[in-house]
């Protein structure tokens, strides 16, 4: 048997819809607003063939650089051998979702701003840098009696 080299080869599970997730798309997919500079995740939807990205870009994260009525232009990094190339692809909005990769960072910024404001009010220094988990401080363990372990003496069978 020859090796298939078609445009969608090897995408049996990649573009398949999930269990109980078939049928028409929700309207929220079409009502999502995209702006230039938004960070988006590319995820090909198998039920919409128009404007579907190539399988290479499935699961990639990029930045929106152009917005049209039905599609968005996305800048994505693609690795080719030893170099990383910036690719500009046009994808319909059914195959694009807002990325949550910056959400943790934005939450941390909001918490740090609150800590800085409180420290300024109390005139105390505050460290907002992330710290690795520190070793457990020294402490005494209570109510432990030591147990002595010895091998069982050998007994002859007679």
Long-range contact pairs involving 80-87 (C-beta distance under 8 Å, separation at least 24): 87/57
Report pLDDT digits (tens) over 23-59: 999 999 999 999 999 999 999 999 999 999 999 999 9
What would the two tokens of residue 96 be? Answer: 């694009």
What does pTM read for this prediction?
A: 0.76
End-to-end CA distance of the chain: 72
């Amino acid at each position: 048997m020859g090796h298939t080299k078609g445009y969608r080869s090897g995408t049996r599970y990649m573009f398949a819809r999930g269990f109980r997730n078939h049928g028409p798309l929700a309207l929220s997919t079409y009502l999502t607003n995209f702006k230039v500079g938004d960070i988006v995740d590319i995820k090909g939807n198998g039920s919409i063939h128009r404007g579907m990205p190539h399988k290479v870009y499935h699961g990639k994260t990029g930045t929106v650089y152009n917005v049209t009525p039905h599609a968005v232009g996305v800048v994505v990094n693609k690795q080719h051998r030893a170099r990383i190339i910036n690719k500009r692809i046009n994808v319909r909005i059914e195959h694009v979702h807002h990325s949550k990769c910056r959400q943790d960072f934005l939450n941390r910024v909001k918490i740090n701003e609150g800590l800085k404001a409180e420290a300024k009010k109390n005139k105390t220094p505050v460290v907002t840098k992330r710290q690795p988990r520190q070793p457990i401080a020294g402490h005494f363990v209570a109510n432990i009696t030591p147990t002595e372990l010895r091998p069982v003496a050998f007994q002859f069978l007679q």
